Structure 1
Amino acid sequence: MKTILLLRHAKASHAGSAEKDIDRILTKVGRTDACQVGSFLKQVESIPAYIQCSPAERARQTIRHIVEVADIDKQLVNWCDDLYYGGARDYFGVIHSAPEETDQIMVVGHNPLLEETVSLLCNGEGAYLARMPQGGLVCIEHPAIEWNQIKPGTARFRWMVTPDLLRKFNY
């Protein structure tokens, strides 16, 4: 069984007129939300063995907080430009290129690409399956033996958590 954790970066500041989108940083709420996601992953023992993250600063900050709180080896984090500049098919490429010896990976990126990826994995094409707020985390499972066996419309939506939900349960 292969498990894919898809995480949208936590709440970020809006780009100022002189600021590039890729340089946007997390807000105080975003930093707290990222820590809550890390705490949740640690408590439910859902620690990825491989992480691909967008190079955008808000995504980098999100995964740094998660790694710290969840006690994840930071050497597992890789940076992938396609998660910022690419499309949903590029997100599939990232999934297909995961190391075969791993069964659980995390992909940290942006909307609408994450929502498109969830829909592609579970539905093939069509309407979005999940609306992912900033800091939202979706878990998808697939019975594949190898990552490249995962095709559109063949995965199962397992669960989703949001920062609002984590706050309600005091993570």
Structure 2
Amino acid sequence: MKTIILVRHGKSSWEYDVIDRERPLKSRGENDAELVANQFVKINDFIPKNIFSSPANRALSTCKIFVRLFGISQNSINVDECLYDFVGENVIDFIKKLPNDYDDVMIFGHNHAFTSISNIFGSTYIDNLPTSGLVKINFEIDNWRDLEKGTTEFIITPKELK
């Protein structure tokens, strides 16, 4: 069995005159990421060992919040350029090329890619994965290249935690 946990970055700030990759999180984005990370720890039976993030500041910052709350080293974060993707094709390619000894992965990235991937591979349709939203999908496969429709175990959104 394989498991993917997708986390959309927290709410970003448009206050600064920076390129898209450098946009930081708003304080609301930081707070929402903490809420979702804490809820994930409460309801999930493991902390993912394989954590990947888009290089964009807002995604990596969200990832660092989760890792801190998981109580694991920031060195456990793997940044990959392929995850700076808004359509989803690069993320799907990335997942299909994962080593098969990785049974679970947590990926921090962007919309529309994550909503699309959640709907293509998950069993629960979502209209839009909100900022700091998390989707956990389980797959009855042994090899990542065989990625197919899985079962959405749960979805966590900040709105439901407030």
Question: What is the TM-score normalised by the length of structure 2?
Answer: 0.89
Q: Which residue of 2 aligns with 1:11?
A: 11
Matches for 1:97-136 after TM superposition, within 5 Å: 97-122=97-122, 129-130=125-126, 131-136=128-133
Between the two proteins, what is the percent identity of the paired residues? 29
**Alignment check: 8 A CA contact 1:95 1:147 kept:** yes
Which one of the candidate residues 127, 147, 153 is aligned to 1:158?
153
Say whether residues 1:145 and 2:132 are aligned partners.
Answer: no
RMSD of aligned Cα (Å): 1.9
Q: How many residues align?
A: 160
TM-score normalized by the length of structure 1: 0.85
Maintained 8 Å contact 2:7/2:133: yes
The question of 1:29 aligning with 2:28 is answered yes
Conserved 8 A contact 2:24-2:58: yes
1:47-75 superposed Cα distances (whole Å, 9 cap, x missing partner): 21111211110001101111001113333
Alpha-carbon distance in 2 for matches of 1:162, 1:9: 12
Find the aligned partners of 2:93 and 2:47 in 1 and give their Cα distance: 21
Q: Is contact 1:41–1:70 with CA below 8 Å preserved after alignment?
A: no
Aligned AA (1:115): T
Stretches of structure 1 that go unaligned for 5 or more consecutive residues are: none
Structure 2 counterpart SS, 1:78: strand
The CA deviation at 1:46 is: 3.7
Partner residue in 2 for 1:54: 54
| 3-state SS, counterpart of residue 66 of structure 1 | helix
Unaligned runs of 5+ in 2: none
Deviation at residue 104 of structure 1 after TM alignment: 1.2
Cα distance change, pair 111–15 in 1 and its aligned pair in 2 (3 A): farther
Q: Distance in 1 between matches of 2:119 and 2:56?
A: 23
How far apart, in 1, do the equivalents of 2:24 and 2:63 lie? 12
